[in-house]
Chains A and B, each alone.
Chain A
């Protein structure tokens, strides 16, 4: 037992080093001058230290614009998902109305629709309104995926009916009950849903690639992708890696802060718990 415990820890340390190494290497290159990287890019410690690669991002190029685009699109998708999906989820669990079962099943059926199979008709839909290269086109389709409704319904089912019933007896309207009593106690579920939506939207690739064709409307994810694949990049490896670091930092920070919520969101959404 002792031996296998030690062996487990050793294995985990080796694995963790292997998993962290690519990220660490990106960080090292981002802090190394471009000229040095032309000679050798495989040092595991910066051969000379510089922050020029990061400063360069602010000085030139569209990187900052893409960063702002990503923030706007992700924030809008996350907030709308939180609001609309919790409202719908609440109605499906705590309100009584005709056709509820059907509407709920119909909404959940959308979970079986793979997002990546819809980009052609979605493209045509936004083309009809000449709405490509707008923020609206980037975040609205993301709010349509019913995953959030599913997550919120799972959570609301665990809240006793007596809470909202008591509020109603006290004369509170449905709206007041929801916004002043239910939402505050839903904070853990909302945080899980919010962080999960944030990560998925920030990392969206195919839809922004299709819809936002003007460079100014790229997101960080599509923008960074557009900088890869041409060989001119190899001369400015450090600058490129600095952009990679900047694109990853918001998510890594959020992940470290809200790790438990994100993992809970994943567990609930997959039906695991």
Chain B
């Protein structure tokens, strides 16, 4: 049995990370909960303890609910699309052994771009007069489509742009999962006369179920944090139809300077996401036993 390490090196190795972690991750978390109990207006009075008033206000705030509903809609539509397309692309790649790395590179590349490059490109793609999609609509002989200013199209347009931007992330995770499946299992099944649908249902699906759950949970967490695409492309418009929760928190804090109320909504977002993350955590620990 190895003896205990001496104290000094342990401190030296852990202290730098731990200090930064405590100050910039854990302290803000506590601070968010505390300031949600205050009326904290940067413009007027300053700070005043008001208990759960902010929470009561939040539950009665129709813009808050509207923003939360938009966020949920984004999560509900983008998650299945991004997960299933990621899986589909990964299966295509896994199937064509030859040029796998070339195709993977192209399909994954948009993921490394920043949100503002993505919005720069797609803002113009969607432009009815200047964009490629506009031309496509024109050649099909239809009336121009105002993707980003039509209330019923703005959110779908943002979702498509997001699929292009981030589906590569899920693709990579699924591809890793697919390549972990033992080839011998497929060969044995083929010898036993199983067709490709049977092989998919009885080998691929069960072997991939953990990856599938993992990707889904990660995607839900990522989708809940939607902000940049919306804020740059539509500013939440038209008429608030794409305003998401983080945008409302941002505007409450930095346009209206109501930091206490903004913190309250941040705590709400945190609780929602914590529950989802906890599911992910339970998933992993369940796997080990």
Q: Which chain A residues have a beta carbon within 8 Å of chain B's beta carbons?
A: 4-5, 8-9, 11-12, 15-16, 19-23, 25-26, 41-42, 83-85, 87-88, 90-92, 95-98, 103, 107, 110-125, 140-141, 143-146, 149, 161, 165, 173-175, 178, 199, 202-203, 205-206, 209-210, 220-225, 228-229, 234, 237, 240-241, 244, 247-248, 251-252, 254-256, 259, 262-263, 266-267, 270-273
Contacts and interface: CB of A to CB of B under 8 A. Distances in A.
Given A42-B130, A116-B246, A225 B115 contact: yes
B282 to A, nearest CB: 11
A118 B32 contact: yes
A21 to B, nearest CB: 7
The secondary structure that dominates the B interface is helix
A23 B259 contact: no
Given A26-B121, A225-B228, 7 more contacts: A15-B92, A91-B13, A97-B7, A116-B246, A119-B250, A178-B13, A203-B114
Closest CB pairs A-B (n = 4): A144-B24, A121-B28, A121-B31, A174-B9
B5 A206 contact: no
B16 A124 contact: no
Nearest to B172: A263
A88 B13 CA distance: 5
A141 B108 CA distance: 27
Nearest to A202: B114
A232 to B, nearest CB: 14
A271 B214 CA distance: 8
B32 A97 contact: no
Contact of B28 (A90, A118, A248): A118
A112 B116 contact: no
A5 to B, nearest CB: 7
Interface stretch (B55-63, B131-139, B150-158): B131-139
Contacts of A116: 225, 227, 246, 269
Contacts of A95: 5, 9-10, 13
Contacts of A110: 21, 25-26
Contacts of B18: 88, 103, 107
Contact of A205 (B96, B115, B267): B115
Contacts of A26: 117, 120-121
B77 interface: no
B49 interface: no
Nearest to B171: A263
Contacts, number: 282
A247 B119 CA distance: 13
B132 A124 contact: no
A84 B95 CA distance: 41
A79 to B, nearest CB: 12
Contacts of B110: 19, 22-23
B249 interface: yes
A92 B13 CA distance: 9
Contacts of A210: 250, 254
26 contacts: A4-B95, A4-B196, A19-B164, A96-B2, A110-B21, A112-B277, A113-B25, A113-B29, A114-B270, A120-B35, A120-B253, A121-B263, A123-B254, A124-B35, A143-B20, A144-B25, A165-B2, A206-B228, A206-B250, A228-B232, A234-B130, A247-B114, A252-B109, A266-B172, A270-B215, A272-B176
Contacts of B132: 21-22, 25, 42
B17 A220 contact: no
Nearest to B275: A112
B169 interface: yes
A170 B194 CA distance: 59
A256 B13 CA distance: 33
Interface string B252-263: 011000010011
Nearest to A273: B176
Contacts of A256: 105
